[in-house]
Amino acid sequence: MFSFYFFIDNLMKRFALFCFLSLCFGVSHSAVIQLSNGDTINADILERTGSDIKISHPAMGKIALPIEKITTIDGKILATPAVISENEQSPSPHQPDENEEADKGFHFFDSNFRLLRGWKHKIGAGFNGKQGNTNTTTIRAEYRGNFEDQLKRWDIRTVYDLNSGDENDAQNEYYVQATRDWLRPDSLWFYFAMGKYEWDEYKNWDHKIGGTLGTGYEFIKRQDLLLLGRFGFSIQNTIGGSDPGLDPELMFGGDMDKTFSEIHSLKLKTAFYQSLTDSSSWRNITNLDWDIVVNQLWGLGLTISLQNEYESRPDAGDVESDFKYNISLVLGWDS
């Protein structure tokens, strides 16, 4: 019986010693650590985390060694966790290129669709009247749209004049003109195309349709001043009148856009057309617009417009020079 208790007591002591040693070795154990610079350290390993290993060294004490600086432990290559960069952890969202943006903005049902994105718009209206032997009222409505980036420049203008009065005075006239410039960022030269349609009941002819292709040069291009010249080949088709048909022409002219301040700006366009079939036939069209800002917050302003059309050989019944002037109340906005 005594021997049995002695056996049990001895077994319990051995078990307690085994548990104590197990706990000790579970907390720390001695190891040979080789660093990436070639040095070797004999130390007790206390703890390992995802980024470092904590050791206890007789001389250095307790320190933490970064895992990326350790090559082997007890001759075994250390399996370091993969280091994930910040960009890999949170990849940036896909950035669409210009073509994708253009495709996205083209769809009419897209929430980001805006008609004529990046354009500057102006709509104007003006009128005057006369009472006496005849009662007349002239109403003018117009739209101007402009756009420019590094590769292209647009200029669109459409004007409608309604003269309502007696039977002999009731006349209408309308025209729309669009100019597209193909710009070259590394050059002052550019190419352009221009088209115009006219309908004027004051004239002997019924309709005029014209188009011009050519090249241009920007003499001055500053934030407050744009001065350029144009040269090209033009074709005009006249419908009705005493001299209908196609007329090929050479065109040369220029544009000036001057900004004096946030309130005042001036825009001048002039073009000369020389007929290639009749050396004595030429014409000139000049437009001058003086824009005055009245209220910047609401985009309200006034525009004083002057236009002169000269033809050396006008249609039968028409005068050589046709001068017009107008004052309009204008509303402007950017899209």
Torsional class of 23: left (φ above 0), alpha (ψ -120 to 50), beta (otherwise): alpha
Give a yes or no: residue 88 inside a domain.
Answer: no
Comparing CA positions, the residue from 312, 311, 294 lying closest to residue 303 is: 294
Write out the residue range of the structural domain in which residue 23 sits.
2-81
- pTM comes to 0.63
How large is the greatest C-alpha to C-alpha distance in the chain, in angstroms? 149
- Per the structure block, which two tokens stand in for 21? 């040693």
Report the C-alpha gap between 256 and 180 in whole angstroms: 16
Residues 33 and 132 in one domain: no
Residue that is last in its domain, among 25, 49, 81? 81
Residues 145 and 196 in one domain: yes
Is residue 96 within 8 Å of residue 104, measured between CB atoms? yes
Give a yes or no: residue 166 inside a domain.
Answer: yes
Residues 155 and 296 in one domain: yes
Residues 191 and 77 in one domain: no
What is the pLDDT, as a whole number, of residue 54? Answer: 80
What is the pLDDT, as a whole number, of residue 74? Answer: 74
- Per the structure block, which two tokens stand in for 250? 């050479």
Mean pLDDT per block of 10 residues along the chain (335 residues) reads 50 50 48 80 76 79 82 70 44 49 40 69 82 65 95 96 67 92 96 96 90 98 96 96 92 97 96 95 96 93 94 87 91 92
What is the pLDDT, as a whole number, of residue 273? Answer: 98
Residues 162 and 231 in one domain: yes
Is residue 301 within 8 Å of residue 291, measured between CB atoms? yes
Report the C-alpha gap between 40 and 57 in whole angstroms: 12
What is the pLDDT, as a whole number, of residue 283? Answer: 96
What single DSSP character describes residue 69? G
Residues 256 and 311 in one domain: yes
What is the pLDDT, as a whole number, of residue 99? Answer: 46
Residues 254 and 328 in one domain: yes
Residues 141 and 53 in one domain: no
**Number of domains comprising the chain:** 2
> Cβ atoms within 10 A of the Cβ of 41, count?
16
Question: What CATH number has the domain bearing residue 315?
Answer: 2.40.160.40
